[in-house]
Amino acid sequence: MKILIIHTNAGAGHLRAAEAVCKAGLKYFPEAEFKIMDSLEYTTAWMKKIYPVTYVVLVKYLSLVWRFFYFYCNIKCLEKFNCRLRQRILVTQQGRFFKMIQEEAPDLVLTTHYLPSDYLSFMKRKGKLKTFVAVCLTDYEPHLMWKNPELDQYFIASEEMLPEMKRLRFPLEKVKVSGIPIHQEFAIVEDQMMMRKKLGLKLNEFTLMITSGGFGLGPVKAVVRELKKVTKPIQILVICGHNADLKSQVEKEIEGSIHDFRLFEFVKNIHELMSASDLLISKPGGLTTTEVMAKGLPMIVYQPIAGHETANCQMLLKHQAAIEMKKISELPQVVMELLDHPEKLQGLKENMKALGHPEAATEIVFELKKIMEMRQKDGNESADPKIK
């Protein structure tokens, strides 16, 4: 039995979700072969290069264009037209993707991004693929980009998404509430002082962490500049992702600060840094949001990307698990308020922890196992000559 888990290199979150499911699969479903693949590796060279760059350019420099694109593609009356148009365009750039799927001959495919779902749905519609295809939504709001009539299963983050999915006419009988899959490390309760000691951090200093996603997006430099105005000395961890220029800019910005800044590039031990922290300042990406829920780490949200991140932010605010910073200039006051009133910070922490669903990857794997067993049983029964 072979299960392909296909992501798309359009942000680190989609890969992290795929890795989490794969790791849980190797543990709880060892009789199956799990394989992670990046869909862009099999598309045309142009598609591989342009697709991730286009997303970064849109959200960073052309936010109004991105906003229009996001909401236009979610208009219900245009769904069929948009879906067919999108697939026609994408098929011209599929490269070796169709051939790869046919050569791999998987028994089941799980995707953590809508791009491979489009390709797989097109193959199923044209009769080139009979494999069971499931998709895992990696944000807290459904969107029609994730919807295809040929898909067999949708894994979603929470029950709160169901009314909107009903409005958008997703087939609810195919929907499974599982949570967004994250690595098991985020479910482990780690002693804060022990983790700070392990990481070489100050043990008794209030520790604030800043993340900017895998691409290092967002006004991190401006956030750091405002944090310098906080009058009580604190420890600040800045994760710059795959953005060397950002790290250089922050290094210049923190000169002469009373705070103890620690700068990092892309890290693989983000769960340890979260365990060592008291507060996170971040954009509300789907995976980051889910990881901090599991850790119970309070969050200050800034400048969410229109659409999916806005929905993630609204969900956190609804449950009083985060504070949204409308203007970066508000940051020193917000941080000082939490420093002076630790009970408010504790309330945010408890609310965040209550939202956590750290076993999502395991739940998805058990569901995939059940699907595989049922399909195998149906196949055996169909092959029995006694059955008419």
The phi, psi pair for 6, rounded to 5°, reads -110, 125
Q: Which of 147, 135, 156 is nearest to 360 (CA)?
A: 156
> Do residue 216 and residue 127 come from a single domain?
no
Calpha distance 367→377 (Å, rounded): 15
Q: Is 14 helix (H, G, I), strand (E, B) or coil?
A: helix
> Do residue 336 and residue 271 come from a single domain?
yes
**Would residue 285 count as lying in a domain?**
yes
Q: Which of 148, 122, 124 is nearest to 135 (CA)?
A: 148
> Do residue 89 and residue 216 come from a single domain?
no
Calpha distance 347→343 (Å, rounded): 6
* pLDDT, greater one: 41 or 61: 41
State yes or no: pLDDT of 387 exceeds 60.
Answer: no
What letters, b where the CB count within 10 A reaches 16 and e where it falls short, cover 126-153?
A: eeebebbbbbbbbbbbbbbbbbbeebbb
State yes or no: pLDDT of 240 exceeds 90.
Answer: no
State yes or no: pLDDT of 351 exceeds 80.
Answer: yes
> Do residue 159 and residue 243 come from a single domain?
no
* pLDDT, greater one: 267 or 351: 351
The phi, psi pair for 202, rounded to 5°, reads -65, 135
**Would residue 260 count as lying in a domain?**
yes
State yes or no: pLDDT of 382 exceeds 70.
Answer: no
Distances (CA, A) of 151 to 51, 117, 130, 309, 356: 23, 8, 11, 24, 27
Contact 14/7 with Cβ under 8 angstroms?
yes
> Do residue 161 and residue 219 come from a single domain?
no
Q: Which residue, chain included where needed, has tokens 């479910």?
A: 187
DSSP state of 320: T
Nearest 5°: CA angle at 13, between 10 and 19? 110
State yes or no: pLDDT of 285 exceeds 70.
Answer: yes
* pLDDT, greater one: 216 or 94: 94
State yes or no: pLDDT of 380 exceeds 80.
Answer: no
Percentage of residues of the chain with pLDDT beyond 90:
71
- Which of the residue ranges 248-252, 316-320, 363-367 would you say has the lowest mean pLDDT? 248-252
> Do residue 244 and residue 221 come from a single domain?
yes
**Would residue 347 count as lying in a domain?**
yes
State the average pLDDT over residues 46-67.
86
Contact 315/160 with Cβ under 8 angstroms?
yes
State the average pLDDT over residues 125-152.
94
Q: Model-level pTM?
A: 0.90
What average pLDDT is seen over the chain?
90
Which CATH number fits the domain that encloses residue 139? 3.40.50.2000
State yes or no: pLDDT of 363 exceeds 50.
Answer: yes
As given in the structure block, the two tokens for residue 344 are 């408010």
CA end-to-end distance (rounded Å), the chain? 27
- Which of the residue ranges 190-194, 245-249, 309-313 would you say has the lowest mean pLDDT? 245-249
Domain of residue 261: give its range. 184-355
> Do residue 158 and residue 227 come from a single domain?
no
**Would residue 388 count as lying in a domain?**
no
Nearest 5°: CA angle at 154, between 5 and 360? 70
Longest CA–CA span in the chain (Å) reads 83
The residues facing 372 across adjacent strands are none
State yes or no: pLDDT of 291 exceeds 70.
Answer: yes
> Do residue 118 and residue 162 come from a single domain?
yes
Query: Which distant-in-sequence residues (6+ apart) come within 8 Å of 102 by Cβ?
Result: 128, 129
> Do residue 193 and residue 326 come from a single domain?
yes
* pLDDT, greater one: 315 or 62: 315
> Do residue 12 and residue 153 come from a single domain?
yes
Tens digits of per-residue pLDDT, 7-23? Answer: 998 877 899 999 999 99
The pLDDT value given to residue 259:
93
**Would residue 70 count as lying in a domain?**
yes
Calpha distance 138→223 (Å, rounded): 26
As given in the structure block, the two tokens for residue 352 are 């965040």
What letters, b where the CB count within 10 A reaches 16 and e where it falls short, cover 314-349?
A: bbbeeeebbbbbeebeebeebbeebbeeeeebeebb
The pLDDT value given to residue 267:
85
**Would residue 75 count as lying in a domain?**
yes
**Would residue 224 count as lying in a domain?**
yes
* pLDDT, greater one: 296 or 218: 296
> Do residue 343 and residue 255 come from a single domain?
yes
- Which of the residue ranges 62-71, 189-198, 270-279 would you say has the lowest mean pLDDT? 62-71
**Domain count along the chain:** 2
State the average pLDDT over residues 176-189.
93
The pLDDT value given to residue 338:
95
> Do residue 220 and residue 342 come from a single domain?
yes
> What Rg, from alpha-carbon coordinates, does the chain have?
22
Contact 114/132 with Cβ under 8 angstroms?
no
